[in-house]
Amino acid sequence: MTARTLYDKLWDEHVVHTEDDGTVTLYIDRHLVHEVTSPQAFEGLELAGRKVWRLSANLAVSDHNVPTTDRSQGIADPVSKLQVDTLDKNCDRVGITQFKMNDKRQGIVHVIGPEQGATLPGMTVVCGDSHTSTHGAFGALAHGIGTSEVEHVLATQTLLAKKAKNMLIKVEGQVMSGVGAKDIVLAIIGKIGTAGGTGYTIEFGGSAIRALSMEGRMTVCNMAIEAGARAGLVAVDETTINYVKGRPFTPGTDPQTGQFAGGVEWEQAVAYWRTLHSDPGAHFDAVVELDASQIKPQVTWGTSPEMVLSIEDRVPDPDKEKDAVKRGAIERALQYMALEPNKALADIRIDKVFIGSCTNSRIEDMREAAAVVKRLGGRIASNVKLALVVPGSGLVKEQAEREGLDQVFKAAGFEWREPGCSMCLAMNADRLEPGERCASTSNRNFEGRQGAGGRTHLVSPAMAAAAAMQGHFVDVRRIA
Ligand SMILES: CC(C)[C@H](C(=O)O)[C@@H](O)C(=O)O
Ligand code: SF4
């Protein structure tokens, strides 16, 4: 048999039918649903008199529009309230399992899927959300879909799709202490650009990726979409299997006790999952290599994730750019970001800090940020008006509180909030005011992303926490 990539294997396993032009009907194992992209899909289904094809394949949650404070008061903003209420009504009506706003299992859709074991190796996972690429960390074929496709999946449990090309991004070696998954993926995007992965499914491999926890792998795959690829993948290994074991939706978990019970279904699943890696000699259409030991803590300076440099660098000088198009883009970005050319990134002072989003709101991210806060001691800098920590789910929040991380944050002047997308894109009350500058652990730094006129610098949780404490960006490798 010819050697296949992981992507080839996942694809082949889910093809139901192939048209002459190569369009495939692909079976979808898991459909995650949130409040922003589902209302028209449910409406379309109802108007057509169709039923949901396979209820148990769906899991829904509201995350973008939920408030992160005073939840007992309900949702004050009428637009957000309508979105959340609509998802509640639709799920209740058709019978889709949903974690409602005050359920402690609620959280960002890309955090709760894996946390519940709803995302498993070998699955096809879709959601009306571009950061569905996150779930590829499990060796699952996962990508975002549009609202009309949400309706198609609800009605048929399939999707019409065309196969992408295979790209391998190999990160070999060991990262320096203080450098993590977020720095790796920002460095990748800095290297290949936001269109570098367009038309490809990216498999992330190499010893530095294998050394990452599942949380770290999710951070990397989360941003595959920012590199232009709809889907990112990491091969299954023992780290993957240990993570999924005993989760509520994982085979082998006793539904009565919620404990791991094992059994034949679990054994068979594990045996299959262990085949989910690229075969030796499998063909990749493109291969990119990075040396992990050379990656420094990253900070974005512009209005696209590819506008990224290391903490040791300076804001680019457009006058040094010969290409007119690139020069124009740098000039526009610097103007929006109100940055002087050649200013050291470490001298940029910030107004707000956001630790959260589907990129960096898992327990490990909370630990990483809290460890920096603890090490530096004292309180957030006086120029920092607001430092938000927004755990990715109620269960992450609960775990962090068991470990006393909330106390570490609160004692230093951070706000400890309820789970949701929050200031990642400001669909709720958490936002930047015009002109405010933010150190953010999220994934997009587009103009106005965190509030009209707001200025976003993407960084790791450790870098965000350090910036909060010192009021400007600092090299976390020095805080040892
Ligand atoms: C609202 C949703 C459709 C959107 C996405 O698809 O990614 C959002 O989650 C984002 O991060 O911009
Ligand atoms: S946390 Fe941000 S990136 Fe993730 S789904 Fe929510 S809005 Fe999108």
pTM over 0.95: yes
Token pair, residue 140, equals 């699952």
User: Is the ipTM beyond the 0.95 threshold?
Assistant: yes
Q: Per the annotation, does 358 bind a ligand?
A: yes
- Residue of 130, 134, 359 to test ligand 1 pocket, by largest number of atoms within 8 Å of CB: 130
Q: Whose CA is nearest to atom 1 of ligand 1?
A: 36
Task: Report the relative pairing of strands 58-61 and 97-99 from DSSP bridges.
Answer: parallel
pLDDT of residue 1: 72
Q: CB atoms < 10 A from the CB of 317, how many?
A: 14
Residue ranges for the chain with pLDDT beneath 50: none
Q: CB atoms < 10 A from the CB of 94, how many?
A: 16
Position in ligand 1 atom list of the atom nearest CA 421? 9
Please tell me the distance from the alpha carbon of residue 371 to that of residue 355, in angstroms, as a whole number. 13
pLDDT of residue 351: 98
Is 37 a pocket residue for ligand 1 (Cβ < 6 Å)?
A: yes
Cα–ligand 1 centroid distance for 476 (angstroms):
30
pLDDT of residue 480: 66
Is 425 a pocket residue for ligand 1 (Cβ < 6 Å)?
A: yes
- Residue of 129, 148, 150 to test ligand 1 pocket, by largest number of atoms within 8 Å of CB: 129
Cα–ligand 1 centroid distance for 36 (angstroms):
8
CB neighbour list of residue 21: distance below 8 Å, 6 or more residues apart = none
Q: Are 453 and 432 in contact (CB under 8 A)?
A: yes
Q: Angle at CA 334, nearest 5°, toward 329 and 336?
A: 95
CB neighbour list of residue 300: distance below 8 Å, 6 or more residues apart = 186, 307, 308, 445, 456, 457, 458, 459
Cα–ligand 2 centroid distance for 129 (angstroms):
8
Is 250 a pocket residue for ligand 2 (Cβ < 6 Å)?
A: no
Domains, the chain, with CATH or none: 24-161 (3.30.499.10), 165-236+277-294 (3.40.1060.10), 298-478 (3.30.499.10)
DSSP codes of every residue in 282-335:
---SEEEEEEGGG---EEE-SSSTTSEEETTSB---GGG--SHHHHHHHHHHHH
pLDDT of residue 232: 98
Cα–ligand 1 centroid distance for 421 (angstroms):
10
Is 109 a pocket residue for ligand 1 (Cβ < 6 Å)?
A: no
Q: Whose CA is nearest to atom 6 of ligand 2?
A: 421
CA distances from 130 to 146, 230, 425, 444 (A): 9, 7, 13, 12
Is 80 a pocket residue for ligand 2 (Cβ < 6 Å)?
A: no
Token pair, residue 354, equals 């956001």
